[in-house]
Amino acid sequence: MRAGNILLFTILFSNLCVGQTFFEFYEKGLEHANNDSLNAALSCFEKALKIQETDNKQTRTYGVKFIEYFPNRELGIVYYKKKNLDFAIDYLEKSMNAEPSERAKDYLLLIGQVKHDRSIAVVDDKAPDIEILSPAMLNSKVFQPVANNINLITIVGKAKDPGGVFEVIVNDKQASMSVEGDFTTKVFLGVGQNEIFMKATDLKQNSITKSYLIYRDDTIISEITSLTQAGKYYALIIGISDYTDPLIMDLDGFPLQDAKRLAQILNDKYTFEKETIQILLNPDRSAIQRALDNLSKTITEKDNLLIFYAGHGHYDEQSELGYWLPADAEKEYTSNWIYNDVLVANLKRIRSKHSLLISDACFSGSIFKTRSMLEDAPVALQKKYELKSRKAITSGVLQTVPNKSVFFKYLADQLENNQDKYLSASQLFQDIEIPVGNNSPNTPQFGVIRNVGDEGGDFIFILNKTP
């Protein structure tokens, strides 16, 4: 009898979340959630997300049938019922970013109220803390200077307070803020020194005001003589989608499409000649190395180099090494992988005036690992182009990125729609940072590649013709 009961329990438990399609798992999760079987609901929603990860008002199931599909939202609600508010916020905000709904919004407000109620019993006489995440800063009070053609910056930061943050005001304007205190705001800059005031207030009305300085260069970039005498613009564009090792997942052709589109944009719109653009589609390690060797023999100290990589990346936490995976990479062996130090060594050999690396790969942010993105030394305030630069823009920090790249979408759109005669790499990054962060789980990065000759300059994209 006991054996029979155990068998019956096993059968019942194993059927808590069964299904073959994402919508079957999702509908089963809704059923469990309505019956307050929260653990079973969690299991079902998580299985649905593994197959179809984005909330949508109209998701196709089969044929012409559509359903409302909100697994992130419902997971957030389940976590709220389980009193795991941090997880609840994460999933509810994911849902709001993908497909805003009143139900998700109502639960986010509920969570805010719960957190507020919890804080009432605590004596709170401390003001919030303000952390600046972007733009980069020279020290705790001073932002890195910006070029003359940048008259608007986006400030991203986080206001922290155990009892919850009520609002953040920047130069008398309320910043857009999440439940967790993450805030963004835009600030217009005049030429020369600008003072920025930030005030953060918590739910107990304790507040703190901090002031920051940022210098906008008074040198007009369009008048810099050296730009009119710029050397050639070279591009090495690498797209890898198909891997010889069956253990490495192919990327459905997206990196190849991105590589071709970028080459077209550079040739059509900017001062990149067709002869100076090299596209490598599904190259092996040897082909990439040969291309870098040839560039080191060809490029002069007056020339500019853009390297773009789209494909798989890998980060080894134990050794703290990041890698690119060429088409002949093997999952179990690293002999054909290209690790960051090899890439940096190759950049050091190339004598360009400016080098810009754009990497759209998993763990691409590891190029900055163990390297600070801020300089302690003073940054040159004028004639950015005349100073050497070795910079990188990457699609994420130490995170995976989706096959179809949100990062590349905004990068290509910005380059294609730009109307400024001169576009610096730092301005390009500022233009894509917020939309990429808002529409993907990744945070793009911009910074100096250390120990390869950066002198504080910047890579400048120049339009073929003035609009």
**Residue 437: is it exposed, middle or buried by C-beta count within 10 angstroms (0-12/13-18/19+)?**
buried
Length of the chain: 467
361 pLDDT band, cuts 50/70/90, is: confident
132 pLDDT band, cuts 50/70/90, is: very high
Domain edges within the chain: 2-120, 129-216, 224-462
49/414 Cα distance (integer angstroms)? 31
Percent of the chain with pLDDT over 70: 81
Task: Tell me the per-residue pLDDT of 245-265, one tens digit each, with 9 for 90 and over.
Answer: 999 888 888 999 999 999 999
99/153 Cα distance (integer angstroms)? 28
Residues 6+ apart with CB under 8 A from 3: none
Candidate ranges 70-74, 378-382, 400-404; pick with highest mean pLDDT: 70-74
Percent of the chain with pLDDT over 90: 33
Find tokens 């970013």 and name the residue.
97
Q: Which fold has domain 2-120?
A: 1.25.40
Q: Which fold has domain 224-462?
A: Rossmann fold (3.40.50)
10 pLDDT band, cuts 50/70/90, is: very low
Q: Using CA of residue 180, residue 400, residue 307, residue 265, what is the dihedral sign?
A: negative
Task: Tell me the per-residue pLDDT of 36-59, one tens digit each, with 9 for 90 and over.
Answer: 888 888 889 888 888 888 888 877
Q: Determine contact, residues 361/240, Cβ cutoff 8 Å.
A: no
Q: What pLDDT, on a 0 to 100 scale, did the predictor assign at position 223?
A: 43
Q: Determine contact, residues 347/452, Cβ cutoff 8 Å.
A: yes
CA contacts within 13 A on the Cβ side of 212: 25
* Region of poorest pLDDT, from 156-165, 211-220, 361-370: 361-370
Is the pLDDT at 138 greater than 70? The verdict is yes
**Residue 348: is it exposed, middle or buried by C-beta count within 10 angstroms (0-12/13-18/19+)?**
middle
Q: What pLDDT, on a 0 to 100 scale, did the predictor assign at position 244?
A: 93
- For every residue of 35-55, DSSP letters joined together read TT-HHHHHHHHHHHHHH--S-
109/90 Cα distance (integer angstroms)? 14
Task: Tell me the per-residue pLDDT of 76-131, one tens digit each, with 9 for 90 and over.
Answer: 999 988 888 888 898 988 888 888 888 988 888 888 877 766 655 556 678 899 99
Give the end-to-end CA distance of the chain in Å, rounded to a whole number.
85
Find tokens 């910074």 and name the residue.
447
Q: Which CATH number fits domain 129-216: 2.40.50.140, 2.60.40.10, 3.30.930.10, 3.40.50.1950?
A: 2.60.40.10
Residues 6+ apart with CB under 8 A from 275: none
Mean pLDDT of 396-404: 49
Is the pLDDT at 234 greater than 70? The verdict is yes
Residues 6+ apart with CB under 8 A from 283: 238, 240, 291, 326, 327
Amino acid at 357: L
Amino acid at 106: D
Question: What percent of the residues of the chain are helix, what percent strand, and what percent coil, each to the nearest 5?
Answer: 35, 30, 35
